[in-house]
Structures are given as C-alpha cells and as structure tokens.
Structure 1
Amino acid sequence: MDAIVARRPEGLSDAELNGLDAYWRASNYVSVGQLYLYDNPLLREPLTLAHVKPLVVGHWGTSPGQNFIYTHLNRAIVAHDLTMLYVAGPGHGGPAIVGQTYLEGSYSEVYPNVGQDVAGLKTLFKQFSFPGGISSHVAPSTPGSIHEGGELGYSLAHAFGAVFDNPDLIVACVVGDGEAETGPLATAWHSNKFLDPVGDGVVLPILHLNGYKISSPTVLARIPHDELEQFFRGCGWDPIFVEGSDPMPMHRQMAAATDQAIARIHAIQAEARGSGLDRRPAWPMIVLRSPKGWTGPKTVDGRPVEGTFRSHQVPLIVDAAHPGNVALLEDWMKSYRPDELFDESGRLIPDLAALAPRGDRRMGSNPHANGGTLLRDLRMPDFRDHAVTIDAPGSCEAQDMRVLGYFLRDVVSLNQATRNFRIFGPDETLSNMLSGVFDVTDRQWDAETVAGDESLARSGRVLDGMLSEHQCQGWLEGYLLTGRHGVFDSYEAFIRIVDSMVSQHAKWLKVTAELPWRRDIASLNYLLSSHVWQQDHNGFTHQDPGFLDHVITKKADIVRAYLPPDANCLLSVVDHCLRSRHYVNVVIAGKHALPQWLTMDQAIAHCTQGIGIWQWASNDQDGEPDLVMGCCGDTPTLEVLAAVSILREHLPELRVRVVNVVDLMRLQPCAEHPHGLSDADYDSLFTRDAPIVFAFHGYPGLVQRLTYHRANRNLRVRGYQEEGTITTPFDMRVQNGIDRFHLVQDAIDALPALGSRGAYLKQQMRDALVEHDRYIAAHGEDLPEIRGWTWGAVA
C-alpha cells in the first residue's frame, strides 16, 4: 500500500486556519505562563522579576507540539462529531494538557477556583510546580486524563485498554519519541493485532518526533524517512506524515492528516460492521515531526535553543542571577499576541472559545476519562455453586485454580451482553489452569490464524495472546480506568516485571480517592499462580514471591493481599475482589492438587474474618496453648498441619493452637491498615507470650515486618529463602526449611521444657530429612508417606 500523503481538506478556509493558529498561540501562551509566572498573567503591566516564580521548574519542549495536536483534534471532534480521549505519552506535558482543558472550560468546571478570568488565570499559572499545587506532568488531577505522565512507556497500552469494548471511542495517543524507546512502548505497536473493529473502538497513535530526549537525540528521529515508514508498515499501521516548522503550512498538513485518519477509521469500521472484514485492517497513525520547543526562544546566550535539547525543560533561566532575561521572557510571551486572544476580563475571546467542542465532547470532560461514572456492577454467579465438597478436613484434593476457572467462566458468561469484563494475562490462562473460561469465550486475536489454532477469534473475553506482562497490565489499567472490570492472571515470579506499573496505578488510586470529582473504579485484581512452592520442571528462575513485599509498601487504603488455603476460600476471596472498588487486590493460589480443608460455609466465615483459629486442628480448648502454629498460603498450611499431626502423635499432652491467615494485612496493627487487627484481637489469637512458629508463603521478613509492633515477640517465621532448583514439591519446601520436619524442630526449640522427649523427636526429624534426601535422589519423587499423607489418618 502506498504511503498516505496528507492533503488539504476540502472547504477548510484561511479564516479557519487562522482560528486554529490563534487557538494554538493561546494554548502556548498559557503553557509558558504556567512555567514562569507568579503574577501579571496577561502582561498588562511591564513584566518584572517579582512577577516570576522564585523557582521556575517544568518542561517546555513537548508542550507546543502537544498543544498543536490537541488543537487539531478539537477541530476534528467538532467536524466529525467524535467521542475522543487524549492520552499524553510524553513525560511532563502538564502545561499543555492543563492549559488546553482550561481553555475549553472543563478545568474550571472541576476547579471553580480557577475561573476563566484574570484571577483564575493567575491561579492557574501560580499553582503549576508550586508548593501545594499541581505537578509538571499529566496527573490524576488533570481532567480528561487516564494516564499518569511521570513514568514513560505505557501510554499506548493504556489507550488500547480504553477502547476495548468501547466501539464508538477513539483514543488519540500521543507517543513521545523518547518514550518510544522504552520496551513496553516498542511492544505496544503490536496491540493492533488484538483489536476487534466491530466491538472495540480504535486508537489513533500520533508519534511526536521532536528529536531529543533530555540531552540526547532520539532514535526514531534520526533514522531515514523510508526506514521509519517501513517500520510502522511492518507493525501493521498506515502512517500519515506531517513534517515541518512553518506554522501555517503545518496547520494545513495537520488538518488534512486528521481528516484522512478519521475517514480511514470510519471506513474500516463501516466495512467491518456491515459486510465484514476478511483481513486485519491497517489502522492509520500520524507521525508529526516538529521542532522541540517550537515557537520558543530561538537562541539564548548565543546558543541555539528551539529545535535542540536545550528546550527540553525551561529554555530561559529567569532569576535574580539573570535579570536581563526578564525582558526576553516578556518578548517571548508577547510573541503570542495575548491581547488578541483574551478579552478584558481575561477570558478567551468568543470566536476562539467557539472552536472547542461542547459538553462531554470536550476531551477534558469525556466521561470515559472518569471511568467510575460509567462503572456498573458485574452480574455475579453464586460462587457457592462451585464449592468443593469435603467430608472432613483434608479428605480430598483439588486444583484450586482449576476450580476457580469454572467460576470465572460463569462470570464471563453472565457479562457477555454488557461486555464489561475481561481476563488479561501473558499467555498463561491455560497454564494457570483457568481453562474453564474457554467453554464460553475465546482469546481475542486479529492476526493470522492457521489450522490447529485453538480458542482464537476476532472477539473474545480473554486477552492473553501477547507474551508481555507490560501490555497486559497496561490494557487492564486502561480498561479499568474507563469504567470496566477485569483480572490479570500471571505466574507469581514474573509479575515482578510490572512492579513499577502497579506502583504508578496505586499512586493514581491514592490521588483520585482524594479528588471529589473522580469516581471510584473497579479494583485491579491480580491472580497469581504457578507459585514458588511447586515448579517441578521450571526451577529456580520461576521462584520469586517478592511481589507481596513490593505491594504492601503502597498506601494501606489501597492494597490488599489474600492467600487462600484451599479452593473454597479462593472462590470466596475472588468473589469479594471482583465486587470491590478502588483497590489493588493480590490473590495467590496454587494450580496443583492439594488437600482441601474447609467446607464452603466454613470458608466464607473464615475469609470474612481474614484470620482465625482452626479449632478442628487445635487441641488447646481446655487451657492456654503451649504453642501457636501460624500459617499463610496453601503450601505453608499443608506443612503446618502435617507438623501439628506429628506433634500430636508424639507429644499428645502438648496444647497446640493453629491460626490460619487468609488476609495478610490482618497481621498489621489496625492503626497501620484498615484490615489490621487491634492489639487485643491479635493477642487473643496468638497470645502475648506463647511461642509462635509461623510458616509463610513468601519471604519471612515480611511477616516479621507486619508484626513488629505486636506484644508477642516470641515469633519464628519460616518462608522462602532463595533456595530452589528443579526438584520435587516437598524437596522445594525442605530446601527452604518450610517443611513439616523443620517446623517440628522449631517447635521443640521453642519449648525447652520438653527436655529429652523433645530431643528424641527432634532427632527423628533429622533422620526423616536424611531419608528424604536419599529417597528422592534414588527415585525422583517424594517419599510415599509424604505423597500419601492425609490429616484424617493421623489426627
């Protein structure tokens, strides 16, 4: 296919182009004012150093280009009656997008104290990068934003997440050429292979080539035009190029480019939704090449600034050490001719204000950017229908994640019509034993299919066809932020790839919870399996439970962590998480067959409390416990119960209490986390002084950290110790000391009064470990008494 060449749109008059240019000048003026001015917002008196902020910080380089794009998208929205969101990918583009939403009126509607007059303009300017004000990038506080502009690389993934199941939505995603060098963004160009032109909206990428990062040139700006075009065509896009620096010809090019892109989008959608498409469409994109710091100072102190890396941040230093630059700043700002743009009251003149869209068509007011306003509850099946029936604790085995898969199948089925629930993951839905969902849906896939492919279709509720945790996370975030629901299933070890992404999302949730105009969105639900304790053939590379350590550092109002011990508890927990709002929920569950402990009624009661004494496993009802055995996680629970059975067999007089933890945050004091236990409740479970031997799914230091302020300091924690290889399930536990034999030894060490009886039992445990090593070396599997152990046989 030949390159798309931007043509002059028919009927676009010179007057209309002059209006576009004036609006662009107004937005550039407002951007510069935010960077520099403390007072005198319309320069109606001579500018002095007293009018300039004492500390000028921010970024100018990307702002004029983004103002140019936003202005032209406004024209396209009005001309074609579009529903459009703007995602600002370049870092620190705050002056542009804040300024644009101010000019269109949406900013003042959200923040009435920033009115459309001189006083409001002064407030707008002063608050930028000022103590107690707003940040220099596009933030949750920015109307119309679903993308935090601080960390680069995720804009395009967020944009695609927003358009899934939004057939009338166009997301214009501006990709900075520095951002384009990040791994997640480079991968995201292939998200077009997962877009359904019938049921989804469309992303219009606009690659902004302004040539430089902080101080170095950008790669995509320094390769030949043909090579750049070939790259994007190879990724399945139809690029439209807009290139230059002279404003009026550039306006003509950009107006033509946006019209052509919209026409192409509408043509693809009309064909797909009418007669149907037998091919994957090549969606349009725009490549805008313009100078960095466009329209800013050409030179400063004899060095070129516009079009160079020197315009990346503030191109002109204005302070007491550079008093001469006050005049240069005034000349720069007056070059936009503000007296032609704003009336006497400080409001944008009516002819220019009329160029912006109206109401919800404004990108700063689009309801999709405040997804909580559109959020509707999921239709939920009764999770009790999927209960594992057990006659007694440990009397049967089940694969927890497989059981959950059929529950999620029913969630998918009940919400097919509303199209507001999806499952995301990096090609691990089958591996994590959630295959039940494919009874009612397919993987969404718009690339080529061949004979033998399974569960691939143009439309589906599962998006796991890209082996990139970054893309899955970004898609899900965009989906949630625009008012829908979803889960992300992944291997536990490799969810660490998105550590920084979950940090950014948690920050977004924290900030938006403090903004009255933002509405709560559905929770970000992680479903982590293939976990550290049973890897079989994968080995050490697949063993890392540290995501828990990372997540709990976020604000307590936002994060939740659940480690259900069996399938019935997992069903109860996931039902709760899917109904929740505005949290980051982490659920960890195994996919291998393990004993099942609680009936559904017991599981519901246990999960509702999040922590509790398992009375059927304890024998301290007639007095205070000599020992508390704590456990959190499916495998630790198994090993603690096996250890308790050994203690009860050999030391029947020993009073042992078993405490199981589902909600990890219950261990924290209530003053530190909303789910935390009071000291009195914690002491009633663990006592104030009895020895505690605790087996934990993850790194032991996490439990020690969560319980640091508790009265009972007599705590020994076993957990993952960075030991592992390709080995048997039980040997994995032995290598990290979380097995029943090590736990029994810990219990004996904690109870010196046992004397010789304890010494002899401890020796038996050492002998058992030697026999274990010998047996697996000879047979390649765990001892029969390990594989065949059940609670009921020895309790």
Structure 2
Amino acid sequence: MTAIENHPTLQAALDETELAQMDAYWRAANYLSVGQIYLLDNPLLRTPLALEHIKPRLLGHWGTTPGLNFLYAHLNRVIKARDLNMIYVTGPGHGGPALFANTYLEGTYSEVHPDVSQDERGMSRLFKQFSFPGGVPSHVAAEVPGSIHEGGELGYALSHAFGAAFDNPDLVVACVIGDGEAETGPLAASWHSNKFLDPAGDGAVLPILHLNGYKIANPSVLARIEPEELESLLTGYGWKPYVVEGADPETMHQAMAATLDAALDEIAEIQRHARASGESHRPRWPMIVLRSPKGWTGPREVDGKPVEDHWRSHQVPLSDLAGKPGRVQELERWLLSYRPDELFDEEGRLVEALRELAPVGDRRMGANPHANGGTLLRDLRMPDFRDFAVDVPAPGAATAEATRVLGYYLRDVMRLNDEQRNFRVVGADETASNRLGALYDVTANAWMARELPADENLAANGRVMEILSEHTCQGWLEGYLLTGRHGLFSSYEAFIHIVDSMFNQHAKWLKTTRELPWRRPIASLNYLLTSHVWRQDHNGFSHQDPGFIDHVVNKKSDIVRVWLPPDANTLLAVADQCLRSRDLVNVIVAGKQPAPQFLTMDAAIKHCAQGVTIWDWASNDHDGEPDVVMACAGDVPTLETLAAVDLLRQRFPELRIRVVNVVDLMTLQPESEHPHGLSDQRFDALFTPDKPIVFAYHGYPWLIHRLTCHRTNHANLHVRGYIEEGTTSTPFDMCVMNHIDRFSLVENVVGRLPQLGHRAAYVAQEMRDSKLRHKQYICRHGVDLPEVLEWTWPGPN
C-alpha cells in the first residue's frame, strides 16, 4: 500500500491554523457524540455533572464514532476546497452519534428537525432524543439527513455507494466500511463493483476501510492480517490502497488531508482522461485504509482494564454510573477533555470560526439532494404497454412466453430513457435466461473488465447489470433508487431469498421515511421473480421455493404489493403500474415458458385494476348461485384450474362453477388491513358466503388462509399449493406431486359436493387413475401425457 509517510504533500497539507481548526471541529463532533450517549441534561456542563444529568439507560456505540467524526471533518474540507458534490455512506451503521453530531454541526439536522435548534436548548434535545423513548435510533437511519443507508445491519454500504454513483457523473460517494462489515459476504462481493463503474458516464466511489481493530468482543480479521496480505487482497480486488495509520491527532490530521488530496486528484484525472479520450479501460481507483484506535480519544482504562484501542470501547465505555463511586466524575473529565468552552459560545452555538469549516447549502453532505433522492426523481418516459399486447382471439387460443413479451416493453422503457439515464435492470446472470434479452437490442451489460473476441453484449456504458451476487444486485439497485432513479431486479424465484434481510431493511426504510415529511418519495423497488417453482423441472428441488412472498407480506401493508399475473397481457399491465409507483416494494411472479394466453389487453387492464375478478367466460353460474368456486392465483395454478373446470363440465354438465382469478394477492386481505383489500361485502360477492372454494395457489397454501382467516366463508376455503414436494421431473409432475394438478383439483371438488351422489366416487376414482397413468407415462417417455401437453380451453359450452 502507498504509505502516507512517504507522500510528497504530507508536510504541506494543512497549515497551523487549518490544523487547529480541523482538530477543534473534530473535538466538537466527539463531544456531541459522547453527549448523545450519556446526557439527559446539562449539555454544556455549565454546572458540575451530577447523576440526574445522565440517562438512566445508556445505549449507543462509541467505538467507531470518533473515526467517523474524523472522516466527516476531513471530507468537509475537501468539499469546500474543491466544490465537490459528495455524499457520505456509513457502513459502521451503529456509529449513529457521529452522523447526528455532524449534520447538527453543519446545520442540516436543525433545518429538517427545527425543534433541535443550534443552541443550548437544541443541544439538550439532541442529546436526550438519542436512543431514548420517543426519540431516534442509535444507528444511522432514515432520520439522519444525508443518509441513504440503514445502519441496522452490516454488509451493504459499498454496493449502495456504487448504486448511488451509477449515472451520476458529478457525484463522489465517500463510503466508510467498518471492521465488522468487511467480514460479511455481501461486502466481500461488492469490492468487485469497480468492474462495472464507467469513469466516463458514472460518478466515483471512494471506499474508506476503517480498521480500528475490533468488533463487539473480538479482533477483526482484516485488522489482524499482515499489512502485505491486506495490500495484496485490496490490490487483487482492483484497488489502489492508501493507508493512514496512527493515534496522534496532529499527525493523523496531516496524513488524512494529504491522502484525500492525492486520492481525489487521481479520481479527477481518471474521469478527465476517460471523458476526453472516450476510452473504456478499467482504471485502478484509489481507496483509503484508515487505521485508528477503537474508541479514539475516549477513556484509556476503566477499572484497570484497557478501553481505548480495545473492544471494550465498542458500546458504552463508562457504565453503571449510579453504582460505582467516582464514575460520574470520570465521565465529566472525558467530556471536558474536548474543551467545549472553546467550541461553543454562550448560547450553545458552534463558534463562528468552526462554523465556517462546513460546506454550505446543498454541498453539505447532510443536505445533498442525492441523499434525499425523491427531490431529484423524474418520471420515466414510458411506452404504451398496450402496444406490446399479445393477440388473444379467444381465451387459450394464443401461446406466448410472458417474460419475453415483457422484455420488449422493458427494452422500450430503456430506450426512451436513454438520454435521462435513470433506468437500470439488475440480475444475477439471468437476464437472458429470464427471457428479457430484448433489452440487448438497445443496451448491453455494464462491463469494465477485460473482454474477449467472443464476448457479446458487454459495454462500459451498458445499462443492464449482472453479477452472480444477489446481495450486490440488490445493493446496487437500492442505492440507485435512493438517489432518485428507477429500476427492476430480475431473479430466479428460489434464490431471491438470499436478499431476504436486505428487503427487510429497505421496507423498514420506506416505512420510516413515510413518517418524515422532508423525505421525498422514491421510485419503488420492483422484483420480477421468474424461473419459478412450477417450471423448475430440470433444475429440481434446489430451485423450487415460492416462499419469498410469505416473507414480503410480513411487512407493513402500505409498503408491499404482490402480483401474480396469469398471462403476458396481465404482466404488461402490472409492470407498467409498478414502474410508475412510488415508495413501494412490488413483487411480480411470472413464468417464462410458453403458456396459453387467456385475456385480451382490455380484459387484462380491467382485471388488474380490480385485482381479483370473476372470469365470466370460464364460469357458468350466470343465472344463479354457483355450486363451487374455483379460485386461482398464478400462471400454472390458473392453467390447472381451467383444465379442471373443463374436466368437471364434461363429467357434470349441470354443475355450476364460478372461476375467480386473483392477480393482486393483497386484495384477499380485508380493506382494514391493506389499501388494496376487499370489503367483506365484495369478498362474499366474489367467493360467496357459504359455497365450497377450491383455491389453486402459486405458493405455500397457508398464506392464503392467513390472508383470509377473518372472512365469512373461510371454513369452506380449501387451498392447494406448494407443499415442499419436488425433484427433477416433468412440469406437470410438479403439479401432481403438490396436488395442484387438474386431476387432484377435480377430486377435491367432487369430494365436497354431496349433491353429486354416487357419481362423485366414480369420477374421483377416474382422477386417481389418471394420475397413476401419468406417472407410468412420464417414467416411460420422459414427457407429460399428450392430453396434458395438448390441452386447450374448449371455449363456451
């Protein structure tokens, strides 16, 4: 690594005045940080500190905070000196005191939270609210202006930073990565994001790996490996690392100032060359390794045990203040070591000479519009999705691959927004596999690494992004959305579970931001889940899991939407609605295999608008009550339901059957629980208050029971769905194994209609025989029965 002591500009980085002011600003941030963790009152220590001035419950994380404060102060300097457009992504998310402190010092926090004013009274509020009932969290959350990164969980800082930099050519994203975060799988993969960043059209990311030696109670891996090994690791990832190391504040201030100047000079030259020459070779971007003591400037020892530069400083270095004599005075000495009387005036305001160190207006990292992406969000230019409609002359009379049709639509979304450069599609090496290849008619995969002559669809400015890390894909897209752009994440259904926790954090972020009027709505996070459970016939059991839906519906109802379009036209209508939406997580599940098409575009639009409808063309109960309701949600369950209806009509022509299709899964909830939920009256009108309902569902059947448990007719609801049965077999055999096939559905219906009398037993036996015949056939021929493969909807009776 480039040792900073050998850097030629070290001696000239800061003059004596700048050095003193930089150190004083850092002390002010540290003072505010300690105050947030400990103080309930007496914020400027105008009277001797007493136990009643201290919070009864001490919560917070000190260990990483002084390093974050140190970096924020130095980034402020270069922003002012260079007029940089910069945001700050905080990987050590529990360093919340640092970001609250710095946005307070620069004035942004008081602007969005006027009750936390820049005076003694406001400082007291800043301190009290931290980790306090009715206050703010201890981590870097949505409440912190300038944040685009929920700090409650580690691993995603660098991918978020790159997502923010894509298509933002003037933006520099300073991304601090902590010791613990550096050990996570998502972070390890995200180092490779530099192979996708185009210096000609994108912004820059400056990673700062902050190694303070420890996690909660253990040494950190990267801090303990030999420096040469760390250098090899980071260089192997494609970075040019600089190291700033030490504990002496004066030396560290000079070293960091010199290093930032050198790194930013390199970034500027990389971008200047790429934009002037048009060359697309991957540069070796600079990064910084900051080695500083954990709990820097805090108590060195407590009760004879080391605290500074030790894991004991991770959270609250001085605890049990009520139970240990002299502990209050230790805290007072710690706070006074920052010399607050030099930093704040009589009113409690930061003194003028230090206020001038912070950038102003939108150049403040807490006020940068990119960190409140809704302020920059522009609507997508959208094609008319009707132009891509599949011609359906009659239900079932056309065949199409739904996601391939969607690909043509997404291609034109991409094309229409090429000039704005505010739309990207991400996926884990699955764009072509998921039949979205039409995108390559207008763009390529983003790629800055080495290319070979046989390569296809690679370009530095490509707008499709593929890396075989779902975590990185999600992080890129979240960073892109949070900074005011639009996108879509396409994934195999079974493997979207890899980002379950990332989805959690994003959904929580959206829930919180809706309660913050200064946070503007952002474009929705849109998932397209395909290669789904019912057509994983060659990959087998490992690729069969529809459970992401169950995970999603745990979140607040005003945040999530789940869509199960039965055919291509419905998928187009759903996708258009999702891309236009704001502050939601939309999950769309759609197959990619050739399948019958049932709805004209006009019918699909009406179906999507209502979310659930009776398919009158498939029903024959128009002149009276149905004997049974056949409900379905999902493309394969819809196909099997219609085939079962056909079989029932052939055997029982007099049977009145109502077919109900659900495309918006959340309509099944009561309207009191979800904005799209049906009223009880409308639900009963569709599903009847007392007739048997046989419901074929795409996912795990118990979710339907959960969504409908308070409905009048829940006792008559019989759901068939995925029950963890699967292997490498034929598509129809997957249905048979999980009892959603047409034969099993018929068997379910006849067993619940006593009016069918003795005939029910014979038909049920016929259906069981058909399933046995199916098993014998596929084991002999390797394909499904001709009557299954060739079945089409017969049309009106």
Could you tell me which residue of structure 1 aligns to residue 422 of structure 2? 420
Could you tell me which residue of structure 2 aligns to residue 119 of structure 1? 121
Could you tell me which residue of structure 2 aligns to residue 489 of structure 1? 490
Could you tell me which residue of structure 1 aligns to residue 596 of structure 2? 595
Q: 1:450 to 1:9 in 2, by over 3 A?
A: farther
**Aligned equivalents of 2:700, 2:762: Cα separation in 1:** 30
**Aligned equivalents of 2:406, 2:279: Cα separation in 1:** 36
Question: What is the letter of the counterpart of residue 477 of structure 2?
Answer: L
Alignment of 1:467-506 (within 5 A): 467-506=468-507
Task: Tell me the CA shift for residue 275 of structure 1.
Answer: 1.7
Task: Tell me the CA shift for residue 760 of structure 1.
Answer: 1.1
**Aligned equivalents of 2:532, 2:429: Cα separation in 1:** 16
State the identity as a percent: 67
Could you tell me which residue of structure 1 aligns to residue 517 of structure 2? 516
2:684 matched to 1:683? yes
**Aligned equivalents of 1:121, 1:173: Cα separation in 2:** 28
CA contact (8 A) 1:318 1:326 kept: no
Could you tell me which residue of structure 1 aligns to residue 359 of structure 2? 357
CA contact (8 A) 1:640 1:695 kept: yes
Alignment of 1:150-549 (within 5 A): 150-277=152-279, 279-464=281-466, 466-549=467-550
- For residue 487 of structure 1, give the secondary structure of its aligned residue in structure 2: strand
- For residue 657 of structure 1, give the secondary structure of its aligned residue in structure 2: strand
Alignment of 1:602-751 (within 5 A): 602-712=603-713, 713-751=715-753
Task: Tell me the CA shift for residue 211 of structure 1.
Answer: 0.3
Question: What is the letter of the counterpart of residue 634 of structure 2?
Answer: G
Task: Tell me the CA shift for residue 276 of structure 1.
Answer: 3.3
Could you tell me which residue of structure 2 aligns to residue 52 of structure 1? 54
Q: 1:278 to 1:644 in 2, by over 3 A?
A: closer
Task: Tell me the CA shift for residue 535 of structure 1.
Answer: 1.3
Task: Tell me the CA shift for residue 2 of structure 1.
Answer: 6.5
CA contact (8 A) 1:523 1:585 kept: yes
2:582 matched to 1:571? no
**Aligned equivalents of 1:598, 1:149: Cα separation in 2:** 45
CA contact (8 A) 1:49 1:323 kept: no
**Aligned equivalents of 1:355, 1:295: Cα separation in 2:** 21
**Aligned equivalents of 1:340, 1:794: Cα separation in 2:** 87
Task: Tell me the CA shift for residue 323 of structure 1.
Answer: 3.7
Task: Tell me the CA shift for residue 672 of structure 1.
Answer: 0.7
Q: 1:11 to 1:430 in 2, by over 3 A?
A: closer
**Aligned equivalents of 2:598, 2:325: Cα separation in 1:** 76
**Aligned equivalents of 2:287, 2:575: Cα separation in 1:** 39
Could you tell me which residue of structure 1 aligns to residue 95 of structure 2? 93
1:444-472, Cα deviation, whole Å (9 max, x unpaired): 000000011110000111001x1000000
Task: Tell me the CA shift for residue 320 of structure 1.
Answer: 1.7
Q: 1:637 to 1:457 in 2, by over 3 A?
A: same
**Aligned equivalents of 1:428, 1:374: Cα separation in 2:** 30
Alignment of 1:59-78 (within 5 A): 59-78=61-80
- For residue 508 of structure 2, give the secondary structure of its aligned residue in structure 1: helix
- For residue 718 of structure 2, give the secondary structure of its aligned residue in structure 1: strand
Name structure 2 gaps, 5 residues minimum.
none
**Aligned equivalents of 1:434, 1:112: Cα separation in 2:** 48
1:328-384, Cα deviation, whole Å (9 max, x unpaired): 000000000000000000000000000000100000000000000000000000001
Task: Tell me the CA shift for residue 318 of structure 1.
Answer: 4.3
CA contact (8 A) 1:613 1:659 kept: yes
CA contact (8 A) 1:400 1:567 kept: yes
**Aligned equivalents of 1:78, 1:2: Cα separation in 2:** 26
CA contact (8 A) 1:649 1:794 kept: no
1:145 equivalent among 135, 147, 154: 147
2:19 equivalent among 14, 17, 20: 17
Question: What is the letter of the counterpart of residue 17 of structure 1?
Answer: L
**Aligned equivalents of 1:20, 1:192: Cα separation in 2:** 31
**Aligned equivalents of 1:110, 1:323: Cα separation in 2:** 40
- For residue 534 of structure 2, give the secondary structure of its aligned residue in structure 1: coil
1:726-767, Cα deviation, whole Å (9 max, x unpaired): 111100100100000000000011112211111111111011
2:109 matched to 1:107? yes
Task: Tell me the CA shift for residue 278 of structure 1.
Answer: 5.3
Question: What is the letter of the counterpart of residue 401 of structure 2?
Answer: Q
RMSD: 1.0
CA contact (8 A) 2:243 2:288 kept: yes
**Aligned equivalents of 1:542, 1:326: Cα separation in 2:** 58
- For residue 685 of structure 2, give the secondary structure of its aligned residue in structure 1: helix
Question: What is the letter of the counterpart of residue 352 of structure 1?
Answer: L
**Aligned equivalents of 2:304, 2:602: Cα separation in 1:** 78
- For residue 171 of structure 1, give the secondary structure of its aligned residue in structure 2: strand
**Aligned equivalents of 1:201, 1:222: Cα separation in 2:** 32
Task: Tell me the CA shift for residue 794 of structure 1.
Answer: 8.7
Q: Return 785-794 or 104-113, whichever deviates more.
A: 785-794
CA contact (8 A) 2:546 2:698 kept: yes
**Aligned equivalents of 1:94, 1:730: Cα separation in 2:** 53
2:586 matched to 1:582? no
Q: Return 44-53 or 751-760, whichever deviates more.
A: 751-760
Task: Tell me the CA shift for residue 390 of structure 1.
Answer: 1.2
CA contact (8 A) 2:198 2:280 kept: no
**Aligned equivalents of 2:266, 2:87: Cα separation in 1:** 18
- For residue 792 of structure 1, give the secondary structure of its aligned residue in structure 2: coil
Size of the alignment, in residue pairs? 794
Question: What is the letter of the counterpart of residue 650 of structure 2?
Answer: E
- For residue 274 of structure 1, give the secondary structure of its aligned residue in structure 2: helix
**Aligned equivalents of 2:3, 2:598: Cα separation in 1:** 64
1:633-680, Cα deviation, whole Å (9 max, x unpaired): 000000000000011111010000000000000001111111000000
**Aligned equivalents of 2:640, 2:142: Cα separation in 1:** 45
2:753 matched to 1:762? no
2:793 matched to 1:791? yes
1:576-595, Cα deviation, whole Å (9 max, x unpaired): 00000000000000000010
Question: What is the letter of the counterpart of residue 487 of structure 1?
Answer: L
Could you tell me which residue of structure 1 aligns to residue 754 of structure 2? 752
Calculate the TM-score normalised by the size of structure 2: 0.99
**Aligned equivalents of 2:325, 2:278: Cα separation in 1:** 66
CA contact (8 A) 1:645 1:794 kept: no
CA contact (8 A) 1:395 1:792 kept: no
- For residue 628 of structure 1, give the secondary structure of its aligned residue in structure 2: strand
Question: What is the letter of the counterpart of residue 140 of structure 1?
Answer: A
CA contact (8 A) 1:487 1:524 kept: yes
Question: What is the letter of the counterpart of residue 150 of structure 2?
Answer: E
**Aligned equivalents of 2:615, 2:69: Cα separation in 1:** 62
Task: Tell me the CA shift for residue 696 of structure 1.
Answer: 0.1
